[in-house]
Structure 1
């Protein structure tokens, strides 16, 4: 927990972020000053019988959220009457409840999940869950035009393949009673009892095309959903997914007020006042974009003058368990990038588009490299004795090794060690969940120096794949010249410099290292909702929501400017042999893709023959 006492009577705003392994809340004032923050671990249910399965529980997550909010208020000594708005963001996970809001267990039949049981129902299929591989493959074979707006290939991490899996595995009568929510939308539903959905969740994860895009009139493509086996959703005008805007559904852009604010029950559980404004939520990656891209840089004064349109040069990287890369563009048509999700219209600002690239495993990959190495227990013990942390110790080992071997840079230590990072499949730009990891340059070493080298090779691989994504985006029409970091990895100085050098772009390190950028983005949504709610008590029509979205979009950007703290730019510094070596390792990285695919084809042909 962090916090500072506040006796002022000024308005405050709460941001709530639900990540892969924890929920957290932050309390901000209108200037973006942090009054307090608190995080609480959440449960993920796995099974040794199937490594593809990742499930969570909305009950467990909501309990963690309530604890975090109450802790924030207590720590900052802030009365609940000062909290004027609440915003949510979360992972793009599928939450399933019935028409009454009761949790539906989504565990595969006959499977037991470790830690599940009792009253906690595992009703969330986490983003990382890969059970819907066959469904995603079948969807992509249709070649439907809807797929053009997800980079040409729908990921098995999205909600439609998972919904199709449930269609196949739930009793038909139960499936017909289900409501399917992307997790950010479930949280606003839980808080307000309003089934209104966010444009962000529907467009990015649920095959929704806003009216006017590619001939769409109602948002949903009956032809697409019928073709893939979800035609029954049309029988209730897609109410299970959120409905048709202006008919039986209300679709809101970022931060617009949901319902009449907090219900009596939700307010009591959170420790807040009933009616407190709740902003339409965002997927965590886009909350990171909101909480990052308006930041000025202390070492580049001109960066303070960027408008919402000028943000097109800034790629927001939200780096935690996985990494998402979001960039905005404007115009009649978005930018189409093969293998990169989008273009997504209106997901944050009405009239603008977003593209989202990503790496399925980054922080998770770093942890895997460390935790599976035989030298890790020894180094953990050493770090504890020396009062430091494992990452600092690994950096010290690398610097010491560089001096002892007399090489000019750290990269020269791994000149013959190459790692390809897709241990959990490729999200972008290959959009191939079947990709696996590769490593070349192994020796019989197994001590601390070997761990440090493999750790460095892992960071290099993450940076080189980022370069691949940035290059693909720019070749397709984007104009990215900087990466704005958020998430836990922003504190890894070695990785940040590798990103700058490997991608040859400047990297903004946010205030505080970036660990709160996402949840601060959610708090900005809460403030925006509170201001809009002062003018209109609740949004009840789609026409009203659309008009307010357009009329207030510049105000949302201004709030981002006002509430985002100053960071600093890290610039590329690789020259000479270091730059040539990075370029060479990038070529090896690209060749690793071709090699893996060629090997896979050879073995599959051998089995068939």
Structure 2
């Protein structure tokens, strides 16, 4: 009996595979690292074949640990970062660079090389940009492709396939060039609610009139919860599975997390509109759903059918959250490599210092967290971060003070984003948290207390994999629909109410946060 699925999450630094049963229980999970080539803070690339190899290792190890034969697996689904994979007419990598035997054919999601192109696209004020927050991000695929055509015409001339990473994974697994509606609508400026999703006049205006031909892009997408096709013989062998396993349409990783934490109410549209999924990892995403579209500056979307049928998705976000905390550890003399163990050591010391010093702990340190630009509410990839209140303290406790105030700044920025979403008609009562931030008690506390909202945390440490498993279960026929899979596989959750007294204390921090933003803008004009 095929009553299990495999979910694969391709994140910024690793590929993770989990075996999940029909009830949504994550039986085991295995992880394998993936390498990234980085040049400065604007260039980041992957080798897609290395990503596929890492995925195969993780899947085989997970299957072996679960002690399940391939005949028990009904379906496989991928979620991934919105990285851009380039392939030629033979399906071979189109390498942007070659180094140490690797072919770097994939522009990472966090790559900002196309900032100028993104600004040019935003400057067109094309009506389509209303569905991209009025200003397109360099993290989207269209500006990256505009950069590619301008700067690497040699690769453009040889191109045949441009894939979102999740779609590349399903292509590598099935041989099908079908694309997911999830990736097309959210990262490619494809309007799923229109009769023809692509806008030829928009593409012509930005010099990409030949994009669909060069990229092998379809006129229609495949909905989440639907199958792309079965595994090929080659892929089945590499993954340790068989060709009766079907592969679901891929998902953007954050959207898989949203499905994982909101799946329990997938059949209740009114309840969906009162919740926001907060997916915290290297960056953070806030995702809402509604039956009607909501528009707003810096809000990505509204995207139709990106996850749930007949629902509009809106995404807001922070470009560097977990990534900022990692950066601060590397930057400080007492920091070191940002391993989970090192984060725990810092967090434990922060808690002890807060207990000893009370509300005055690090109170004169103030941080703007835009170290990798700002997605929301400013939609400005060129904004920079700032730290005010530094002294000559280079001790471990000094690091802990900076770390704590960075966590506060991340939460203050979250509050500002929520206020921007409210102005667009999105008024959530609860935040559903998932991702790596669930393991950081400082952020869990601050997200509730700074925003003044109830926080809902699932009783699973990997709602992203569970959301991807829901997609696989629907595609594999274990459930009749995506909503049914969401309800049937959702994990129980616990609720945390905000501390009203602490919320009042953070009001002063928020006023200072806004003042620092004004001062930054003033400095930029001098």
Residue 72 of structure 1: how far off its partner (Å) = 1.2
Among 75, 79, 86, which residue is 1:96 paired with? 86
Residues 219-238 of structure 1: matches in 2 within 5 Å? 219-233=197-211, 236=213
Indicate the larger mover: 166-175 or 130-139.
166-175
**Cross-structure match for 2:133:** 151
Whether 1:203 aligns to 2:172 is no
Distance 1:450 1:97, change over 3 A: same
Q: Greater Rg, structure 1 or structure 2?
A: 1
Distance 1:122 1:172, change over 3 A: closer
Aligned residues: 526
Instruction: For 1:79 and 1:89, locate their aligned partners in 2 and report how far apart those are by CA, in whole Å.
Output: 23
Residue 459 of structure 1: how far off its partner (Å) = 0.3
Whether 1:518 aligns to 2:464 is yes
Whether 1:393 aligns to 2:341 is no
**Cross-structure match for 1:75:** 65
Whether 1:325 aligns to 2:325 is no
Contact 1:263/1:275, CA 8 A, preserved across alignment: no
Instruction: For 2:207 and 2:152, locate their aligned partners in 1 and report how far apart those are by CA, in whole Å.
Output: 14
Q: Which runs of 5+ in 2 are unaligned?
A: none
Residues 237-386 of structure 1: matches in 2 within 5 Å? 240=215, 242-245=217-220, 251-259=221-229, 261-295=230-264, 307-331=268-292, 334-376=293-335
Residue 403 of structure 1: how far off its partner (Å) = 4.5
**Cross-structure match for 1:37:** 29
Among 565, 575, 586, which residue is 2:510 paired with? 586
Instruction: For 1:455 and 1:233, locate their aligned partners in 2 and report how far apart those are by CA, in whole Å.
Output: 44
Whether 1:25 aligns to 2:48 is no
Residue 400 of structure 1: how far off its partner (Å) = 3.5
Residues 403-418 of structure 1: matches in 2 within 5 Å? 403-405=355-357, 407=358, 409=359, 412-418=360-366
Contact 2:451/2:503, CA 8 A, preserved across alignment: no
Q: Normalization by structure 1: what TM-score? A: 0.83
Instruction: For 1:244 and 1:292, locate their aligned partners in 2 and report how far apart those are by CA, in whole Å.
Output: 31
Among 466, 470, 488, which residue is 1:562 paired with? 488
Residue 211 of structure 1: how far off its partner (Å) = 4.3
Contact 2:78/2:166, CA 8 A, preserved across alignment: yes
Instruction: For 2:153 and 2:439, locate their aligned partners in 1 and report how far apart those are by CA, in whole Å.
Output: 47
Distance 1:595 1:178, change over 3 A: farther
Residue 312 of structure 2: SS of its match in structure 1? strand
Instruction: For 1:291 and 1:140, locate their aligned partners in 2 and report how far apart those are by CA, in whole Å.
Output: 33
Among 103, 106, 109, which residue is 1:127 paired with? 109
Q: RMSD of the alignment, in Å?
A: 2.1
Whichever structure has more strand as a proportion of its residues is: 2
Residue 173 of structure 1: how far off its partner (Å) = 7.3
Contact 1:485/1:507, CA 8 A, preserved across alignment: yes
Instruction: For 1:528 and 1:293, locate their aligned partners in 2 and report how far apart those are by CA, in whole Å.
Output: 16
* Runs of 4+ residues deviating >6 angstroms: none
Contact 2:47/2:106, CA 8 A, preserved across alignment: yes
Residue 176 of structure 1: how far off its partner (Å) = 5.3
Residue 326 of structure 1: how far off its partner (Å) = 0.8
Among 381, 397, 422, which residue is 1:433 paired with? 381
Q: Which runs of 5+ in 1 are unaligned?
A: 1-8, 108-112, 246-250, 296-303, 535-551, 603-609
Instruction: For 1:305 and 1:68, locate their aligned partners in 2 and report how far apart those are by CA, in whole Å.
Output: 30
Instruction: For 1:361 and 1:172, locate their aligned partners in 2 and report how far apart those are by CA, in whole Å.
Output: 33
Residues 263-299 of structure 1: per-residue CA shift (max 9 Å, x gap): 111111111111311110110010001111135xxxx
